[in-house]
Amino acid sequence: MGLACAILIILFVRDELSYDSWIAGSDKLYRVETTFHVPGRSDIVTAQHTMPLTAAMRDQIPEVRSGTVWRGRV
């Protein structure tokens, strides 16, 4: 049982560390997250944001070369 758990943990960590590694320049990829602070509730962290944010980042941050908005359910 312990060996099976260790193998599963190793496979999980390997998968997490290799995420997006097939993309050239993946060390320069970033994900923008937004945290909503709602009184009386725990913080809500999401990667969804308004559409103008992508264009604003490209226009105002010289290091940003391109951006995309992904709308999907996880």
Q: pLDDT value at position 25?
A: 81
CB 58 within 8 A of CB 64: yes
> What's the predicted TM-score (pTM) here?
0.52
Q: For the chain, which residues make up each domain, given as ranges?
A: 23-74
Q: What is the pLDDT along the chain (74 residues), one digit of tens a residue?
A: 999 999 999 999 999 888 777 888 878 888 888 898 999 999 988 887 777 888 888 899 998 888 877 766 65
CA pair distance 19, 26, nearest whole angstrom? 9
Query: Could you tell me the two tokens for 42?
Result: 């725990």
What pLDDT was estimated at residue 32? Answer: 84
